[in-house]
Structure 1
């Protein structure tokens, strides 16, 4: 990953969103890239209002604890004029292995964090890098928004596994579909 991002996770703004906010937090991380600043990062209420405004969610969605995924994140990236989003659907988790070259190219060409979430595996997360070994080994660098608390240091987060390299074959449910939301610098920044 090139550029800088902020790590948004459960409760980072004082709101207890455990159990429903991982998609929002991953979206916030995406919005903080490439400068690594909170300017332009929408709060949870602003995300919900935007989804009502664009017609994706019905009136009354604001204030709910309903989840969002990559499709909603992509709509919000456009609405808030954040990084450009591009969606990719993978029918089964085992198929993510076939997306490694695309992910590698994305990061090598200066692309930003990639949001990922599925159906059976509905826990949103961000991908920050790819590493392919000499044999069949393949890893993705995962930033997990499910952390609760005030982290003391990046090292603490790494040691606890909140940001970690995970083997592709075990990091994703082979029976779940996945959506990926790739981010890139918008045209004004290029």
Structure 2
């Protein structure tokens, strides 16, 4: 796409959410809407936006950070009473066919995690919220 130096092609270097969003646009995939969170503790303030994203039909949310180098994909949000909040996290490194959803959960590829333990409070995060650009979802995000 021309956004990286020539030596990047064929390397084992990683791309982040910004580059993933560029790829979605370049290859005419789902729209990727970026959201930057300066510190992980700020993710608590974005839970309503994430909830609206999923409730409006939004797709998986790619997550990348700096101090927290563990890539994640968010598939859902569960807001409990008070400050209780959970995110459904998928490890995007899984490939192949699972026999059933329980197999993925038992192996740690997917599961609900409490927001306070799923993210490093001191790391910044970029989120790439994917959508098919439905009017209902656009309204939920604005």
Alignment TM-score, normalising by the size of structure 1:
0.67
Once residues 30 and 133 of structure 2 are traced to their aligned partners in structure 1, the CA distance between those partners, rounded to angstroms, is 5
Gaps of 5+ in 1: 1-52
Query: Which residue, 47, 68, 71 being the options, matches 1:100?
Result: 47
> Displacement of 1:125 after TM fit?
1.1
> Deviations 1:30-85 (Å, cap 9, x if unpaired)?
xxxxxxxxxxxxxxxxxxxxxxx2x2101121110000110000000000100001
Moved beyond 3 Å, runs of 4+: 146-152
> Deviations 1:75-131 (Å, cap 9, x if unpaired)?
000001000011000000011000000000101111111001100012211101000
| Higher normalized strand content (fraction of residues) | 2
1:175 aligns with 2:119: no
> Displacement of 1:184 after TM fit?
0.7
| Structure 1 vs Structure 2 CA RMSD | 1.8
Q: Which residue of 1 aligns with 2:84?
A: 137
> Displacement of 1:146 after TM fit?
3.6
Once residues 148 and 109 of structure 1 are traced to their aligned partners in structure 2, the CA distance between those partners, rounded to angstroms, is 27
Partner SS for 1:127: strand
Higher RCO, 1 vs 2 (CA within 8 Å, ≥6 residues apart): 2
Once residues 113 and 169 of structure 1 are traced to their aligned partners in structure 2, the CA distance between those partners, rounded to angstroms, is 20
Partner SS for 1:60: helix
Partner SS for 2:105: helix
Gaps of 5+ in 2: 138-142
- Map 1:155-170 → 2, pairs under 5 A: 155-170=102-117
Once residues 107 and 150 of structure 1 are traced to their aligned partners in structure 2, the CA distance between those partners, rounded to angstroms, is 24
- Map 1:54-133 → 2, pairs under 5 A: 55-133=2-80
Once residues 37 and 113 of structure 2 are traced to their aligned partners in structure 1, the CA distance between those partners, rounded to angstroms, is 18
Residues 173, 182 of structure 1: CA spacing in aligned structure 2 closer, same or farther, 3 A cutoff? same
Kept after mapping to 2: 8 A contact 1:82/1:186: no
Number of equivalent positions: 135
> Displacement of 1:149 after TM fit?
7.2
Once residues 150 and 113 of structure 1 are traced to their aligned partners in structure 2, the CA distance between those partners, rounded to angstroms, is 18
Alignment TM-score, normalising by the size of structure 2:
0.88
Partner SS for 2:4: coil
